[in-house]
Structure 1
C-alpha cells in the first residue's frame, strides 16, 4: 500500500520528522492539521464573492509571485521541478480517511486541495470550493453554493453529489476522531437543492457553521463509490488518487519517490512549478548527504551542528527559520494497559530519572524549543502552577524502593517478586533526533536499574502500533492545542482507542474537560485549565519532553516564495525558481 486555538487550513504543506495523533487510520480531525511540522502553511487568495456563478477562467494563469525579489535574483521563471527530501517512513497512503503519517497528509493536501471554505490562522472563514454559506432557520439550515467550473484531476466536474458523498463517508468512517464525531452527530440531513447547491440541516441550531466541517477536502464520488470501505486497502493499493488540488499524481504506484505534476485546470490558477517530487532516504544522515550532493532542493534541519556542517559542505545553502502554526509536544508515551507503566508512581520515577533538559539541548537547535512539564505550552495564557519534574535520579530511586523495587538478584537492575522493571521503547527508525533521545533515556534509566530495550520501527509501524495498543512505551510527537477539543481527544477516557492512544483514565481529568465545554466565559476557564495541568503533571500519563517553537529548513537559494523568515512555510503551489536547479 502506498500510504493556542488555531486550526491550520487544509492547503498546508508539511515538512520534518514529526508525525501526528491518529494511529491505524487517519482520523477526520487531522484533515485540518496537515502538518508534519505543524502549521507550515500557505493561505491561497480567493476571488469569488457570494452570488457569483462562475469561477474566473484562469486555468492557464499562473499565480503572481508573492515575494519581493532582490534585483540580483533575476526574474521569476515559469515551470521547473523541486525535489523535497524526507526520511523514509514506510508504505504510504494518500487517502484523506486512511492517512496516518504527517508526510501522507502533506502530499494528500496537494492532491485533494481545500474544502468548501478556507479558514485562516485568525479563524476568519472565506470562500473555498463554495461561497460563504447562507444561514437559515436560525442556524438550523446552512446552504452552500458551489463554484462552477471546478473539476477533479480526471476532468469530472465537482457537484453537490460529491459533497454529499464526502460528508456521508466522513460520518460513517469506521475510525473517526472523537471530537469530529461530536460535530457530525449534529448533522441531521445533507441534501442537494440542485447540482451546485447543498443544504446541510443541523439537529440543533448553531450560530456559526463549524470550521472543522467546512474545511474538509471533497472526495470524488465517481472514483470512491461502493466498496471502498469494505476493502479499503486493496482499493488504495491499485487506484491512483484523484482530487481537486494543485497537483496530481504523475506515476503510480509509488515507492521511494513520489512525483506530482501540476494540475493544468486547478481552479485557483495553475501552480508555477511543473513538478513537485518527494524523495525518501533511510536516515537523517543520508538525507543531509543528498542535499549536499544536490539530489534534493529542500530538507529540514534539526540541530546546530547539522546547520554548521551543511553550510561548510554546501556554502550556497540557504538556512531559514520557520514557525509552526500549531503546537506539538514531544513525549514518551506509556501504554496504560501495561502492568508496570499503569502505575503513576513508576511513571513519576521515570520522569525524575530522565535528564529531559539534556535531551532538549541535544535534539533541537538552540532556542528552538522549551522544556515541557505538561501539555500546555509555557506561553499559554492560562498556564499556572509551579509543579515541575527536575532531573533528580535519587528521588526516582527512592520512589521505586517505596513501591518495593530492589535489586534482589544482584544483576544491577531492579526487580520485585522476581519480575524485572523492564520495558520496550519504540522509536522511529532513521531519525537522528529520535536516536539521540532514546540514547539519553536508556542511559539515564539504566543508571537507576531500569531496563529499557530500544526498538526501532518505521513511522508507519509506530503509529499503527500506538493505535491498537501494541506497545510498552513509544517516542512520539503529539499535535496539540490547549483547547477543550484537544484535551478531550488526547486525555479523556471516552477517547480511549481513538485519540487517547495512552489508554489513560482519570475521572477528575474527565470532569474538568467536560466542564470546559460548558464554559462561555474565557476568564472562568483559567482555573479549570490550571487544575487540569496540575493533574496531568502529577499523574504523568506520558513523559513530557519538549515543545518545538521553531524549525529550520535548508534549501537551494534560487528557490523563492517559500515565505518570510520566522513565519509559516508556504505551499509548493506558490514556490518558483529564479534560476533552475542544476
Structure 2
C-alpha cells in the first residue's frame, strides 16, 4: 500500500521483500495532484522548466530559479538536434553550440590540433549502455538454439579489434548487461576472446560443416545463412554490422545485413520476429535484470533472445529479495557467469562518449550522460573570460 504521512513523506509497504524498490521510486516523476504525467507540455519538479520544442530542431529549457535544492546557474539550456558528427563539430567551431559529442575518429584527429585544444577540452566517459546482438534461441530457427553456435558467434567476432581500428580507447568490450561502472559488475569475468579456430571447432561439433567447399557451412542441407537486422540511418551502426558480417564470413557463416527503420526493428524485437538483431540498450544504476533475462519475459518483456533457464531465474529472484549490497552483488556475479556460459547475446561493447566543450563551460558527466543524473546541468557554470 501507499500512504501519505505528511506533505513531503510517502510510506510504501510491499507484500514481500523487493530490493530494487528504492531505485524504482527514485525514477518516479512527481507532478501536481490531478495532473497527467504524460501531458504536453510536460509538467515536472526539476531544476529546469520546459519552454519550447521545435520538432526535429531543438528543445529549450529555462532555469527554475525557485528549485529548493538545485537552482541552476545557467539561465537557459538549448538542446540542438544535429544528426551528423561533422555538422556538430562545425557548429561547435562556429560558436553555435557550446558542447557536442565527437566520434572516435574525430577525437583522434583533434588530439594534435593545437588551435582546437586552446578553445575546447575533451571530456570522456563510458555510458550506461551496451551494444549487443540478440540470437533468437527459442527453436524458431535452425541456428541459435545450440549454445555451441552462440559461443562460436562471439568467438568469431573481433570486438577488441573493432575498437582498436577506430582508435577508441574509451569504449570497452562487453561481457554482460552488468556495466563496469556499477557495483554488480564482476571484474573477474572476462569477455570471450577472439578465437576463430575454436569457433570453427564448435560449429563442426554442432554439425555445421562446409561439405561442398563453397565457403558456407550447412547442416541437413540448410546453409548457415541468416538475416542480421539492425536500425538503418546511422553510419556508425552500419559500420558495426558490416564488421560483424565480415568476421562471421571468416568461419563460413553468412550474415545478410537487413537494415530496418527503427520503428520496424522495435516491432520485430517486441513480437520476436527475427533471427538475429543488433541493437543497443540503456542500462540502469540498479542492475535488476528481471525484464532482460527472466523466463517470464521471453514472450513480452525485453528478453529478446527467448532465454529460459531455471538457474538464471533462481538467481534473478534471489537478487530481488537480497538487500545487503555485497550479498546481492555476489548473486549477480553468479548470474553474470551463467549468462557468460549461455551467450544469449554477443555483447559487443559498452560505448564511451567523447564530449568537446568550450573551455569556459564547467560541467559534470556520469555514466548516465549529461542529463540523466542529479544535479546534472543545474550544476553547470560558465566562467567569465
| TM-score, normalization by structure 2 | 0.78
- Deviation at residue 511 of structure 1 after TM alignment: 1.8
1:420 aligns to what? 223
Cα deviation 1:535-557 (Å, max 9, x = unaligned)? 21121011122335x64210122
Maintained 8 Å contact 2:18/2:321: no
- Deviation at residue 426 of structure 1 after TM alignment: 3.6
Query: 1:421/1:283 Cα in 2 relative to 1: closer, same or farther (>3 Å)?
Result: farther
1:213 aligns to what? 25
| TM-score, normalization by structure 1 | 0.55
Counterpart-to-counterpart distance in 1, 2:368 and 2:241? 30
Query: 1:429/1:222 Cα in 2 relative to 1: closer, same or farther (>3 Å)?
Result: same
Maintained 8 Å contact 2:150/2:343: yes
Cα deviation 1:77-136 (Å, max 9, x = unaligned)? xxxxxxxxxxxxxxxxxxxxxxxxxxxxxxxxxxxxxxxxxxxxxxxxxxxxxxxxxxxx
Counterpart-to-counterpart distance in 1, 2:212 and 2:94? 54
Maintained 8 Å contact 1:272/1:575: yes
Counterpart-to-counterpart distance in 2, 1:256 and 1:245? 23
- Name which of 298, 302, 320 aligns with 2:122: 320
Counterpart-to-counterpart distance in 1, 2:296 and 2:144? 20
Cα deviation 1:11-65 (Å, max 9, x = unaligned)? xxxxxxxxxxxxxxxxxxxxxxxxxxxxxxxxxxxxxxxxxxxxxxxxxxxxxxx
Partner SS, residue 554 of structure 1? strand
1:372 aligns to what? 174
Matched, 1:286 2:286: no
- Deviation at residue 403 of structure 1 after TM alignment: 2.5
- Unaligned runs of 5+ residues in structure 1 are 1-187, 229-235
Maintained 8 Å contact 1:322/1:551: yes
Counterpart-to-counterpart distance in 2, 1:198 and 1:334? 45
2:107 aligns to what? 306
- Unaligned runs of 5+ residues in structure 2 are none
The 5-angstrom pairing of residues 147-226 of structure 1 reads 188-190=1-3, 196=7, 199-200=10-11, 202-204=13-15, 210-224=22-36
Cα deviation 1:367-426 (Å, max 9, x = unaligned)? x24333344567868837677522122222232233232345654323333433233334
- Name which of 135, 145, 151 aligns with 1:342: 145
Query: 1:370/1:451 Cα in 2 relative to 1: closer, same or farther (>3 Å)?
Result: same
Counterpart-to-counterpart distance in 2, 1:524 and 1:385? 17
Give me the CA root mean square deviation.
4.0
- Name which of 243, 254, 260 aligns with 2:44: 243
How many corresponding residue pairs? Answer: 375
Matched, 1:434 2:246: no
Partner SS, residue 122 of structure 2? strand
Partner SS, residue 314 of structure 2? helix
Maintained 8 Å contact 1:427/1:456: yes
Counterpart-to-counterpart distance in 1, 2:35 and 2:69? 23
- Name which of 162, 180, 186 aligns with 1:383: 186
1:11 aligns to what? none
